Chain A
């Protein structure tokens, strides 16, 4: 597609439930990133996929968080047993090379109640 697509745009979930967030990157972009942004805060790195290499999971805050990227394209970020502190905007970005910068999606606003 023309841009990075994320779904859902908004998600309200009860504490303890699992959620899945989806990211559809720009076709041909080999790198895919997940960041999260709490209200009024900066961007916190979560995970990074590059081609067929093993993902860099160093930013995942706990083992409740996981992500996969199927076929080098669509990615899903899963949060198990959600907690209130997981409430944030989850941003996905893709890139065809660092010099071109990241193209971000519009994000998924997750609210855990």
Chain B
């Protein structure tokens, strides 16, 4: 099945700094999803990217899907303490599969 490498594993930023997490695949992806898990909480769906080169924004969050559909990024501008948590990317486990394989996540800490 599909595998994704997510980097970095951890990121500590000063409040107000930007943050980016990356997901990379060796194979072409049909789509990619992003989730956020707050400390002690459960993953919450943020967005799905489908098209090559797609860019979507949600307030301070910018999601990109690479032109080759093999990588994706999540960028947060001017982090706030509310952004703390672990960000996961997730991809379909196989063609036409409804099952997702999750990356290992990037844990974001924001220093006030």
Query: A residues within 8 Å of B by Cβ?
Result: 31, 33, 35, 41-43, 45, 48, 50, 56, 91, 95, 98-107
Contacts and interface: CB of A to CB of B under 8 A. Distances in A.
Interface residues of B, number: 23
A7 to B, nearest CB: 14
**Which 9 residue pairs of A and B lie closest in terms of their CB atoms, listed nearest first?**
A101-B45, A104-B42, A43-B102, A42-B104, A48-B99, A104-B43, A106-B42, A42-B102, A98-B98
B105 A42 contact: yes
B33 interface: yes
Contacts of B33: 101
Q: Interface of chain B, helix or strand or loop or mixed?
A: strand
Contacts of A104: 42-44
A42 B35 CA distance: 12
A51 to B, nearest CB: 10
26 contacts: A33-B99, A33-B100, A35-B102, A41-B104, A42-B88, A42-B103, A42-B104, A43-B88, A45-B93, A45-B99, A45-B101, A48-B99, A91-B43, A98-B92, A98-B98, A98-B100, A99-B50, A101-B33, A101-B35, A101-B46, A101-B47, A102-B35, A103-B45, A104-B43, A106-B41, A107-B42
